[in-house]
Structure 1
Amino acid sequence: MKIWLIGALLLSYFAEAQQPIYKPFEVDSMAEPRGGQKSIDSYVRISLRKPVTALKLGLAGRVIVTGTVEPNGFVSGVSILQGLQADCDTEAVRVFSTFNAWKPALKAGKPVRQQVTYPVVFKPNKPFIYENGAQINYYDKNKGLVDSTNWKTRYKLVKPVKPNWLPSGDMVLYKSKGATSWIEDTRYKLVREELTNKTPTGKRITRLSYRTPTNELFDKSYEIDEDGIMLSSISYDKKGEPFDLFSYAPNGALLEVTRNYRSTVKLSNTGLVNSWKPTLIKHVMSWYPTGQEYAIIVYEQPDQLPQIISMRDSTGLVLVDKGYGTAIFRAIKTSHLDTTRKTLFTETGPVEGAFKQGVWTGRYADGSYFYEEQYDKGICRAGKAWAVGRDTVRYTTLENPPEFQNGMAGLEQFLRKNLRYPFDTKLKKTQSKVFVRFMVGADGTLSEYEVTKPVHPELDQEAIRIVSLMSGLWKPGIRRGMEVRMNYTVPINFSLN
Structure 2
Amino acid sequence: MALRNLVVLFCLFAFPAISQPIYQVNEVEKAAEPAGGLAMFNRFVLANLRIPIQSAARGMNARVLIKGVVETDGTMSGLAIARPLDSLCDAEALRVMNLYKAWKPASLKNQPVRQAVVYPIQFRTAPIPAYDSARHAMIEYFDKNYQMVSDEKKFRYRNIIPVDRYGDVRADILFQEKRSGDWKTVKAFPFVKNEIWVQLSGPVKLDSIKAYRISANMGNWESPSEEITVQPDGRLLSFVAYPGSGKLPAVRKSYYQSGMLKEERIAADSLVQVTSWYDNGQLGSVILIDNKNRISVKENRDTDGNVLVKEGNGMARIHAGTYRGKTVYEEGMVENGFKTGRWTGKLAVSDLVYEEFYEGGKLTKGVRHTGEQPLEYTVDIVQPKFRAGPKEFFKLLRDHVNYMPPMNPSIGRPEGKLLISFLVSEEGRLSDFSIDRGVAKHIDQQVLEVIKMTDGLWDPCIQKGLKISSRHTFPINFETN
Answer yes or no: same fold by TM over 0.5. Answer: yes
| Candidates 253, 265, 288, aligned match of 1:258 | 265
Alignment of 1:258-407 (within 5 A): 258-261=265-268, 279-300=269-290, 302-330=291-319, 333-334=322-323, 345-363=328-346, 365=348, 370-390=353-373, 392-407=374-389
Structure-2 change in CA distance of 1:319 and 1:191 (3 Å) = same
Structure-2 change in CA distance of 1:358 and 1:318 (3 Å) = same
In structure 2, how many angstroms separate the alpha carbons of the residues matched to 1:232 and 1:284? 15
Whether 1:167 and 2:204 are equivalent positions in the alignment is no
Whether 1:138 and 2:160 are equivalent positions in the alignment is no
Which deviations, in whole Å up to 9, do the C-alpha atoms of 1:120-144 show, x marking residues without a partner?
A: 2222512424232223333445555
Q: CA deviation at 1:4?
A: 3.0
Structure 1: stretches of 5+ with no match in the other structure: 262-278, 336-341
Could you tell me which amino acid in structure 2 is paired with residue 372 of structure 1? E
Which deviations, in whole Å up to 9, do the C-alpha atoms of 1:413-464 show, x marking residues without a partner?
A: 56667x47799x85576978562423242xx542445234375999777666
**Alpha carbons 1:451, 1:460 under 8 Å: kept:** no
**Alpha carbons 1:186, 1:213 under 8 Å: kept:** no
Of structures 1 and 2, the one scoring higher in RCO (CA 8 A, sep 6+) is: 2
In structure 1, how many angstroms separate the alpha carbons of the residues matched to 2:142 and 2:18? 58
In structure 2, how many angstroms separate the alpha carbons of the residues matched to 1:59 and 1:229? 24
**In structure 1, what is the equivalent of residue 52 of structure 2?**
51
In structure 2, how many angstroms separate the alpha carbons of the residues matched to 1:153 and 1:312? 52
Q: CA deviation at 1:163?
A: 2.8
Which deviations, in whole Å up to 9, do the C-alpha atoms of 1:191-232 show, x marking residues without a partner?
A: 111113266676531122113346998533322211122333
**In structure 1, what is the equivalent of residue 203 of structure 2?**
none
TM-score by length of 1: 0.80
In structure 2, how many angstroms separate the alpha carbons of the residues matched to 1:394 and 1:482? 10
Whether 1:408 and 2:390 are equivalent positions in the alignment is yes
Whether 1:438 and 2:423 are equivalent positions in the alignment is yes
Classify the secondary structure of the residue corresponding to 2:6: helix
69-78 or 198-207, which moves further after superposition? 198-207
Classify the secondary structure of the residue corresponding to 2:365: strand
Classify the secondary structure of the residue corresponding to 1:97: helix
In structure 1, how many angstroms separate the alpha carbons of the residues matched to 2:238 and 2:322? 22
Structure-2 change in CA distance of 1:215 and 1:194 (3 Å) = farther
Classify the secondary structure of the residue corresponding to 2:390: helix
Q: CA deviation at 1:159?
A: 2.1
Q: CA deviation at 1:483?
A: 5.0
Could you tell me which amino acid in structure 2 is paired with residue 224 of structure 1? V
In structure 2, how many angstroms separate the alpha carbons of the residues matched to 1:332 and 1:9? 41
**Alpha carbons 2:50, 2:92 under 8 Å: kept:** yes
Structure 2: stretches of 5+ with no match in the other structure: 201-205
455-464 or 403-412, which moves further after superposition? 455-464
Structure-2 change in CA distance of 1:162 and 1:396 (3 Å) = closer
Whether 1:243 and 2:243 are equivalent positions in the alignment is no
**In structure 1, what is the equivalent of residue 188 of structure 2?**
187
Structure-2 change in CA distance of 1:457 and 1:112 (3 Å) = farther
In structure 1, how many angstroms separate the alpha carbons of the residues matched to 2:19 and 2:470? 52
**Alpha carbons 1:173, 1:186 under 8 Å: kept:** yes
Could you tell me which amino acid in structure 2 is paired with residue 255 of structure 1? K
Could you tell me which amino acid in structure 2 is paired with residue 329 of structure 1? I
**In structure 1, what is the equivalent of residue 213 of structure 2?**
207
**In structure 1, what is the equivalent of residue 95 of structure 2?**
94
**Alpha carbons 1:65, 1:79 under 8 Å: kept:** yes
Alignment RMSD (CA, Å): 3.7
Classify the secondary structure of the residue corresponding to 1:242: coil
In structure 2, how many angstroms separate the alpha carbons of the residues matched to 1:169 and 1:449? 22
**Alpha carbons 1:449, 1:464 under 8 Å: kept:** no
Alignment of 1:99-118 (within 5 A): 99-118=100-119
Structure-2 change in CA distance of 1:14 and 1:60 (3 Å) = same
**In structure 2, what is the equivalent of residue 276 of structure 1?**
none
Which deviations, in whole Å up to 9, do the C-alpha atoms of 1:10-69 show, x marking residues without a partner?
A: 443343233222111112211011011101111112322222222222233222221111
Structure-2 change in CA distance of 1:458 and 1:15 (3 Å) = farther
Structure-2 change in CA distance of 1:158 and 1:99 (3 Å) = same
**Alpha carbons 2:221, 2:245 under 8 Å: kept:** no
**Alpha carbons 2:344, 2:352 under 8 Å: kept:** no
Number of residues paired by the alignment?
466
Could you tell me which amino acid in structure 1 is paired with residue 66 of structure 2? V
Structure-2 change in CA distance of 1:55 and 1:345 (3 Å) = closer
Classify the secondary structure of the residue corresponding to 1:382: strand
Which deviations, in whole Å up to 9, do the C-alpha atoms of 1:277-321 show, x marking residues without a partner?
A: xx3332222211221111112223x32322211011111111123
**In structure 1, what is the equivalent of residue 10 of structure 2?**
9
Could you tell me which amino acid in structure 1 is paired with residue 172 of structure 2? D
Q: Percent identity?
A: 29
**Alpha carbons 1:195, 1:206 under 8 Å: kept:** yes
**Alpha carbons 1:368, 1:388 under 8 Å: kept:** no
**Alpha carbons 2:198, 2:211 under 8 Å: kept:** yes
**Alpha carbons 2:421, 2:471 under 8 Å: kept:** no
Could you tell me which amino acid in structure 2 is paired with residue 147 of structure 1? S
Structure-2 change in CA distance of 1:428 and 1:70 (3 Å) = farther
**Alpha carbons 2:420, 2:448 under 8 Å: kept:** no
Structure-2 change in CA distance of 1:346 and 1:440 (3 Å) = same
Classify the secondary structure of the residue corresponding to 2:60: coil
Q: CA deviation at 1:362?
A: 2.8
In structure 1, how many angstroms separate the alpha carbons of the residues matched to 2:385 and 2:138? 47
Classify the secondary structure of the residue corresponding to 2:26: helix
